[in-house]
Amino acid sequence: MTADTPLPEPPADCPLCPRLAAFRAANRAAYPDFHNNPVPSFGPDDAELLIVGLAPGLKGANRTGRPFTGDYAGDLLYRTLLDYGLATGSYDRRPDDGLQLANCRVTNAVRCVPPENKPTPAEVRTCRQFLERELRSLTRLKAILALGRVAHDAVVAAVAGRGSAFRFGHCGVHQLPNGLWLIDSYHCSRYNQNIGRITHKMLRSVFDAALVRRPETSTENDKTLH
């Protein structure tokens, strides 16, 4: 597998979540210029850091076809990736803005846009097969940054099985049974930014925690920073 090898992605007409498939069809009719398909991951497949969000936003990733691209959440996420040299170029809310990720990849726990940004637990479970495939394919992966509790739970279930005792907590750091580090953050959604639950400074603290994580740096299984 090289950085240029496409990883397995859901088919454009993935039928596995009937409610989301119906929503996709309705959005194709309402917004024919939008992507309106499962949104593929973005970034090289030899990345050491994977960022996992919740799901595409209707007029963000579902419109542009690139995770976190075109909405408020992406402004903060890509600004922070650029801060840390995890992206090069410039972010301009368009999939053809020339932005490239460096040693980092971005995906979502659920690949299709859900109504009101709320996938059901069954939809998260169903789409987890694509997250699992992704995790198996990223052979150089060392750390996963989960944006929000749903992403955290999806990653834990994919790696450690459901019911595993890894609790979500902002800036929480967990070592998963396969040696990967999982770092938690509040999601950088517009709502969370508006109420001050997540700020640029807070997200930078999460990246500080993520970027020092290497399997040899600690033997603790579950550690929460401040």
Nearer to ligand SF4, 129 or 218 (CB): 129
Told to check if 110 binds ligand SF4 by CB under 6 A, we report: yes
Smallest separation (angstroms) from ligand SF4 to the CB of 99: 24
Give whichever of 127 and 156 is closer to ligand SF4, judged by the CB atom.
127
Tokens of 103: 């040693």
Among 58, 81, 127, 198, binds ligand SF4 (CB under 6 A): 127
Contacting residue, 23, 38, 176, 182, with ligand SF4 by CB under 6 A: 38
- Rounded distance between C-alpha atoms, residue 121 and residue 115, angstroms: 14
Three-state secondary structure string covering 137-185? HCCCCCEEEEECHHHHHHHHHHHHCCCCCCCCCCCEEEECCCCCEEEEE
- Where does this chain touch ligand SF4 (CB under 6 A) — which range of 25-33, 96-104, 108-116, 210-218? 108-116
Q: Which residues contact 13 (CB under 8 A, 6 or more apart)?
A: 21, 37
Residue from the set 81, 86, 104, 112 that interacts with ligand SF4 by CB under 6 A: 112
Q: Is 184 in the site for ligand SF4 (CB under 6 A)?
A: no
- Residues 181, 175: contact at Cβ < 8 Å? yes
- 134 vs 156: CA distance, rounded Å: 14
Q: Considering the complex, what minimum distance in angstroms separates the CB of residue 27 from ligand SF4?
A: 12
Tally of residues, the chain? 226
- Phi and psi dihedrals of 107, rounded to 5? -145, -175
Q: Quick one: which segment of 80-88, 105-113, 163-171, 189-197 binds ligand SF4 (CB under 6 A)?
A: 105-113
170 forms part of the interface with ligand SF4 (CB under 6 A): no
CA distances (Å), origin 222, targets 59, 164, 169, 180, 208:
36, 12, 11, 12, 17
Q: Is 134 in the site for ligand SF4 (CB under 6 A)?
A: no
Interface positions with ligand SF4 (CB under 6 A): 10, 14, 16-17, 20-21, 38, 110-112, 123, 126-127, 130
